[in-house]
Structure 1
Amino acid sequence: MKQTLTFNLSTITSTESKINVDAFDESLEAFENGDYLNAFHTLLDYVNPDLREKYGNSAGTEFNVPHGSIVVSIKIEDGQVHVTAPFLALPDKSRVPLLRQVAGLNFNDMDLAQIELRDEKLFFKYSCPLALAQPYKMYYVLEEICRTGDKYDDEFETKFGAVRIYEPKVTPFDAETLDNVYEVIQLSCRECMDAVKGFEADRKYGFAWNVLDTTLLKILYYAHPQGQLLNDLNKAVREMDREDIPLPEVVNYGKSVVARVQAMTKEELAEDLYFVETFISPKRRSNLKNIQENFEGTYDRATQAFEARDYQTCCLMIVYKFYEMYFYNDVQDDVNTVVTRALTKTSAMPWDEAAQILHEAMDNIMEGELDADDDDEDVDFGTMMNNAFANVDMNQVAQNMQQAMQQAMQGGMQEYLANVQTLQMQMMQGQISMEEYTRRVQELAAGLGNNQ
């Protein structure tokens, strides 16, 4: 492996959290002043400022909020808060093992809410007096219901044949996006397995582990899967961090997961590729201080590697840490811009060239310099695209194209990005020639400049 992994912008337009931090302070203050209904309302505003208007009644006493394949119903009456959510209907067979699993969730995974059986159906349930609906507690109640329901509905349907009570309202990826996602996943898996093969031959299992785990995180970041595929990939990421088994065995496990994803047909992928509304995000809301604290150890080691001219190690560590950040956090837009700019510029770039750019990006985050201007406004798109295709390599077309895409990203031109990605896939599939691709990208870039 002589260069960095390819990079593709996420299929979602923003990685930033919807949380309104100020509203939580208002909720706490209202609760401490005995204004309990207002405290609960502002707690919902903290989760999402649009939530009450979109999902509540005019009196502000009933809310039905979709979250994946469940709907969280909240009712406030007679001084009580009642939270319920339909989960699953019992199957004709495998009832006993399913109920054992549910009992385990009640005892081990859930602290406040519980899953109850009513008329052959499982429901999440929690109630308390409004005067005891402390904002921290109620947020945790809502979070554990959403987290547990979202995690186990697909798993219990797959394992035991349980039936969803509520059919989620989803927006499947359109055909063009699905084609793009399938091609990118295929390319990412091939690239990963080729790199791991080389590292294993040199017995560099640490590097092999890094590339495998980074690829899993990359697929989660890029494709934003749902359903059982999301559960499987999340589990794989956790398993890759095990320290109780030898590293070569962990590498073999990672290879099996990547191979399984690579073997999925486009139709199989499509089952878990869709957009769906959520109530409580499964990820943390990022803030710069926490990111800096989490990056600190990697930054020190990457700096040492960079100064020692061990550019490969420097790049591998930083790229992994960037994708890991997206795995655990809803990343704020300013940090996201710094990271995606660096990853796009260094996509499939030789180690010695990529190391400085990646290290500088992490350094900017550590120093809090998130608004540093880039020189992208003065880019000559024609020169850039000609250079990108000087050495024809179809596997690198996507990589070079991403560099062009990021140059335009600062203007927020989503239409431009979508058009360029479409042209990329048309060329990769042989629908247009390389010369046609280059000409049309140059035209798009020129049009972008005229519109600013």
Structure 2
Amino acid sequence: MKQTLTFTPSVIPSTASRLDPDAFDRSLEAFNEKRYRDSFLALLDFIGKGLRTRYGNADATAFEIPHGSIVVRIRTDGGRLRIEAPFLELPGKGRIPLLRQAAVLNICGMDLPRIVLRGERLYFEYECPMTLVHPAKIYYVLRDICHTGDRYDDEFVTKFHARRICEPRIERYDAEMVARLCGAIRAACDEGLREAAAFQNERNYGYAWNIIATTLLRICYLARPQGQLLNRLDRAIHELDREDIPLPEVVSRGCSFARTLGAMSDEELAEGLYRIETFIPEKSRATLKSIQDAFSESAARCAEALERKDYAVCCLSTVYKFYEMYYNSDVPEQVDAVISQALAQSASRPLEEAAPLLNDAMECIMEGDFGEEEDGGDEAPSAKASAGEAAPSGEASASEAPDTEAGAAEPTPLQREAMTGVLLQSGFLERYMKQRIHGTEAPDAAGAAERPDPKQTER
């Protein structure tokens, strides 16, 4: 490998989270003051500004909020919180396997909400007194419903021929944008397979793994896929983390998926290329501190590699870490500006030229210094430039499509513990959510010291 991978700007213009930490603080304060309805309304403000006015009734007691292919219906009257979301209608044949899968989701896929059967239809539902609407608990209830419904509806429709109760509110890209994205996906697959094959021939499977993993993460970044295309990419990325099979086999499977993806027609790829309206963000909200924590080891390793002039290690590990962050997290605008510019400036350059640029970006993040960079210059293309200036033909421009939500990061064990509500009375959950939202230190709790702190930029 003599030069770095090419760079394609993301199809979305902003990677920033829309969550409002101040609104969560107001929700928590209202709950502690036993103003439970105000607490819930502030929670909706935390999730998205204007949600309750855009999707609620006049007295703010009923809401119907879309998330992908489901619509979350919420009622707060009668002293109780009731949440339901129509999921799927049973098929004429093969319904038993579908019901088994729904039962599995009830057992191990969600914590508090449940999938119930009403006649021929499956629904998500959850209900509790308003006195128990702790904002952290209810957020994870909504997250379970939205993410499970949006992830498995495509699976069940494809595998079991179930029928959607609500059609997803999607907006297709125009033909030109679809063609650009399809071309960018194929170009990324071809480039990744070519570079990985060179390392495989040298039996250097660690480097080959890095190239294939970066390629799949990069596709998620540039195209922000949805539906079954996203599900397939998620599975392939998770398969690359398996430790129960030899590394050469892991690399071989990753290459096989990349070849399959690159061979898909425009029509097949276009099925998963669109914008969709969401309720609960698909990715964690990253803060500068959480990113610095996740980057700490990589930053030290890259600096050491650059010092000993091991440019390949510096470039490969840094680029992988950057795309991994985008895959798992909604990234603050300042961090995105630094990293996307570094990726654009270092793209397709000799390793010895790209390594200092990437290391400078890593150091900028670790130091929290977002002033004007002296080395930026006017020669390198901006990360938000048009595809024709920043990347080869077929690559998409970030400025041509509005924001959307994507991704499917799994909850950490600490999140799962928080979701159960077991620690509500101790006050641990309140401190935990503050840590998640504001990026402060993780709270102490029984057994918490034995688990790693949740890193919002790691799977």
TM-score bracket, shorter-length normalisation? 0.7 to 0.9
Aligned mates of 2:350, 2:56 — CA distance in 1: 53
1:63-142 superposed matches below 5 A: 63-142=63-142
Deviates more, 1:365-374 or 1:148-157: 365-374
Aligned mates of 2:333, 2:390 — CA distance in 1: 21
Checking the alignment, whether the CA contact within 8 Å between 2:7 and 2:343 is kept in structure 1 is: yes
Structure 2 residue 229 is the aligned partner of structure 1 residue 229: yes
- What do the CA deviations read for 1:313-361 (whole angstroms, capped 9, x no partner)? 1100000000000111001100000000000001111100000000010
**1:261/1:207 CA distance change after superposition, 3 Å:** same
User: Corresponding residue for 2:186?
Assistant: 186
Aligned mates of 1:237, 1:424 — CA distance in 2: 26
Checking the alignment, whether the CA contact within 8 Å between 1:88 and 1:164 is kept in structure 2 is: yes
Checking the alignment, whether the CA contact within 8 Å between 2:61 and 2:75 is kept in structure 1 is: yes
Checking the alignment, whether the CA contact within 8 Å between 1:88 and 1:165 is kept in structure 2 is: yes
Aligned mates of 2:390, 2:381 — CA distance in 1: 10
1:196-207 superposed matches below 5 A: 196-207=196-207
User: Corresponding residue for 1:50?
Assistant: 50
Tell me the TM-score normalised to structure 1 length.
Answer: 0.85
Stretches of structure 2 lacking an aligned partner (at least 5 in a row): 396-459
User: Corresponding residue for 2:386?
Assistant: 417
Checking the alignment, whether the CA contact within 8 Å between 1:70 and 1:85 is kept in structure 2 is: yes
- Aligned-partner SS, 1:181: helix
Aligned pair partner of 2:381 in 376, 382, 404: 404
Q: 1:420 Cα shift?
A: 4.8
**1:249/1:424 CA distance change after superposition, 3 Å:** closer
Checking the alignment, whether the CA contact within 8 Å between 2:10 and 2:221 is kept in structure 1 is: yes
Checking the alignment, whether the CA contact within 8 Å between 2:72 and 2:85 is kept in structure 1 is: yes
- What do the CA deviations read for 1:19-69 (whole angstroms, capped 9, x no partner)? 000000100100111111110000000001121121111211111111111
User: Corresponding residue for 1:289?
Assistant: 289
- Higher RCO (C-alpha under 8 Å, 6+ residues apart): 2
**1:420/1:202 CA distance change after superposition, 3 Å:** closer
User: Corresponding residue for 2:170?
Assistant: 170
User: Corresponding residue for 2:452?
Assistant: none
Larger radius of gyration: 1
Aligned mates of 1:375, 1:176 — CA distance in 2: 34
Q: 1:76 Cα shift?
A: 1.2
Aligned mates of 2:320, 2:11 — CA distance in 1: 19
Checking the alignment, whether the CA contact within 8 Å between 1:334 and 1:371 is kept in structure 2 is: no
Aligned residue identity for 2:306: F
Checking the alignment, whether the CA contact within 8 Å between 1:45 and 1:51 is kept in structure 2 is: yes
CA RMSD of aligned residues (A): 1.6
**1:205/1:375 CA distance change after superposition, 3 Å:** closer
Checking the alignment, whether the CA contact within 8 Å between 2:124 and 2:145 is kept in structure 1 is: yes
Aligned mates of 2:374, 2:86 — CA distance in 1: 50
Checking the alignment, whether the CA contact within 8 Å between 2:90 and 2:163 is kept in structure 1 is: yes
- Aligned-partner SS, 2:225: coil
Aligned mates of 2:290, 2:78 — CA distance in 1: 41
Paired positions, count: 395
User: Corresponding residue for 1:359?
Assistant: 359
Checking the alignment, whether the CA contact within 8 Å between 2:44 and 2:52 is kept in structure 1 is: yes
- Aligned-partner SS, 1:404: coil
Q: 1:404 Cα shift?
A: 2.6
Q: 1:372 Cα shift?
A: 3.2
